[in-house]
Amino acid sequence: MRAGMWSESRNARNVLGVAAVVATLVLLGGCEVPRVSPANPGTGRAEASAVPEIPVAEARKLLGELPVAVRGVLDGYDRARKFPQWKTVSGRGDVREELLKRDGTNVKVNAECAAVSGSWRSPYDGKTWTTASDVDVDHVVPLAHAWVSGAKSWDQATRERFANDLTQPQLRPVTDNLNQDKGDKAPDQWKPPLVSYWCTYATDWVMVKHAYALTITVPERTALSSMLDRC
């Protein structure tokens, strides 16, 4: 094939590809379709599904660096006003919908960017859900707990970032009643029922607290250390 013909053929394919993308976005009302991760072809997971992971030795190091303090009180706490959540990520999609796309399998969204089908595995109990409304988005370090661990002194922008953080292992899709049962409890008060997940849960908790310079109590530190023993 002559170079000129190859170039024209390539340009034609590019135009068709762009047209297909535009058509898809029009059908979805501007929603971004989750892309399959090159590392996990065929999984239906978005490329953004990866969250930070660290070795247990690093988690222990970070745990030792967390400042120990007596847990504060909830005076002045107002979840809606102090921790605005589910901010818009792109188009009409908010953080919750972005997480459902990121951590779900074969997720499809409607024109409002809301997940209408797919499956989500709750890491806390290992159960899989196929209806988005059955899934809660858990803040690994609860907002109220963050408030009594140092967030009370943050500015509003930092609290909003904390409530919507998709870069740290802070947001997880979980079984709704487990999220309600957990509430604002720390690891010395509540642990995921799936014991095999304790290592990851402890690592996530430590990473988030260290990233935001939050304090821990002695019982909390003891519980986290014990959970890391299972890694």
Amino acid at 44: G
Contacts (Cβ under 8 Å, ≥6 apart) of 225: 60, 63
By residue count, the chain amounts to: 231
- Is residue 16 predicted with pLDDT exceeding 60? no
Describe the strand order of the beta sheet including 105-109 as a list of residue ranges.
Answer: 105-109, 115-121, 128-129
pLDDT, residue 50, reads: 54
Identify whether the C-beta of residue 201 lies closer than 8 Å to the C-beta of residue 139: no
Residue 171, classed as helix, strand or coil, is strand
pLDDT at 25 over 50: no
Two structure tokens written together for 26: 């029009």
At 90, the pLDDT band (50, 70, 90 cuts) reads confident
pLDDT at 189 over 60: yes
Share above pLDDT 90 across residues of the chain, in percent, rounded to a whole number: 72
pLDDT level of residue 53 (50, 70, 90 thresholds): confident
Pinpoint the alpha helices (H) of the chain: 3-27, 56-65, 79-82, 95-103, 143-147, 156-163, 176-182, 198-211, 218-228
pLDDT digits (tens, 9 = 90+) for 125-168: 999 999 999 999 999 999 999 999 999 999 999 999 999 999 99
Residue 70 has pLDDT above 50, yes or no: yes
Residue 49's identity, in one-letter code, is S
Structure tokens at 6: 């190859």
pTM of the model as a whole: 0.80
d(CA 105, CA 118): 6
For residues 11 and 184, give the distance between their C-alpha atoms in angstroms, rounded to a whole number.
55
What DSSP line would sit under 98-153, residue for residue?
HHHHHHSEEEEE-TTS-EEEEEEE-TTT--EESSGGGEEEEESS-HHHHHTTTGGG
Question: What is the DSSP code string of 66-100?
Answer: SPB------TT--HHHHS--S-EEETTEEHHHHHH
Average pLDDT, the chain: 83
Least confident interval from 26-30, 166-170, 209-213, 224-228? 26-30
